[in-house]
Chains A and B, each alone.
Chain A
């Protein structure tokens, strides 16, 4: 419960900080491939599938690519 409150606070802080951020010409580092959320979709998909079949939790990061009969 405490963890949920902490994260929710973080989320509201982030939403309210419209002064946080960079100018468009400062996005050089953020534009690099290794900073993109979907840089290696294959790795993420394969691991998600393994953990889905061995553990009770799944997802959290985005929408998956389908179910399987293993859970």
Chain B
């Protein structure tokens, strides 16, 4: 597990930077002990890379590959994968079935490159039999996927990694810290001077890319729905969140949702649920008193 890790010391804080899960990752530590920061940043990067390798679709020989190529045979998974699977089950339930980690195969039909090339209905329909958590047998720790089906933790992997790295660092230091993987972040504060972390939330809608600044003391932030991954045909925008029942993008929902919640995993979940909820996203989020939400329609 290797990669580039850079360390910096600025006024009153140390930071580490590396790339993981296709994102620029940074760790901000509210202390000035450079040697300690090096140890902490390395631990953070290693954990991030470990999770990335384990659940990457692009590697052979990892846990995910074993699951997705078992050809219908049962696979015994490790404790961490089991926890992620249990988590996915809960999300599948609370979203009324719309959150489904088996829907990854649909990417064979959809290429979200901003063009107007929608797939034809037959291509999508052909893939539908391979989508659906209801076909999967999950009895901790044994997972049985029908042949041809795949699972993919892309929807929750990054937020999980943020929280894992956060907890790891929280055990290594008492200082205030912020873990930011390309906009999905988790923070602990306040900083030594009493101030909160200033987090910028991109609002790619009105007013020339306005950015809103939020003061965060403790909590997690996650954004779902990328304004860049979409298709546009005849004035209708097809976001990249697909409804596993139809194989087509969820309509009427926000283009992106940014959520502030007690941890990054919950933030990510609310963000995903908001996009899956379609036009009801507003109502869904307004009912939640413990979070803050920014939606872009």
Contact = CB atoms under 8 A, between A and B. Distances in A.
Nearest to A25: B200
Contacts of B215: 31
Contacts, number: 19
A47 interface: no
Interface string B182-202: 000000000000010010100
A44 to B, nearest CB: 23
Interface residues of B, number: 7
The contact size tier of chain A is under 10
Contacts of A27: 198, 213
Interface in A41-67: none
Interface in A6-38: 23-25, 27-28, 31-32
A32 B195 contact: yes
Nearest to B211: A24
Contacts of B212: 24
8 contacts: A24-B212, A25-B198, A27-B213, A28-B195, A28-B198, A31-B195, A31-B215, A32-B195
Nearest to B214: A24
Nearest to A28: B198
Contacts of A28: 195, 198
Contacts of A24: 198, 200, 211-213
A23 B201 CA distance: 12
A52 to B, nearest CB: 34
Given A24-B198, A25-B198, 17 more contacts: A23-B200, A23-B211, A24-B200, A24-B211, A24-B212, A24-B213, A25-B200, A25-B211, A25-B213, A27-B198, A27-B213, A28-B195, A28-B198, A31-B195, A31-B198, A31-B215, A32-B195
A62 to B, nearest CB: 24
Contacts of A32: 195
Interface of A is mostly: loop
A24 B200 CA distance: 7
The 3 closest A-B pairs by CB, nearest first: A24-B213, A24-B211, A24-B200
A31 B215 CA distance: 10
Nearest to B215: A31
A25 B216 CA distance: 13
A30 to B, nearest CB: 10
A1 B212 CA distance: 41
A23 B200 CA distance: 9
A32 B211 CA distance: 20
Nearest to B199: A25
A28 B198 CA distance: 7
Nearest to B196: A31
A24 B211 CA distance: 7
A1 to B, nearest CB: 39
Interface string B131-173: 0000000000000000000000000000000000000000000
A35 to B, nearest CB: 12
A51 B172 CA distance: 56
Nearest to B193: A32
A39 to B, nearest CB: 14
Nearest to A27: B213
Contacts of A23: 200, 211
Interface in B195-240: 195, 198, 200, 211-213, 215
B176 to A, nearest CB: 14
B215 to A, nearest CB: 7
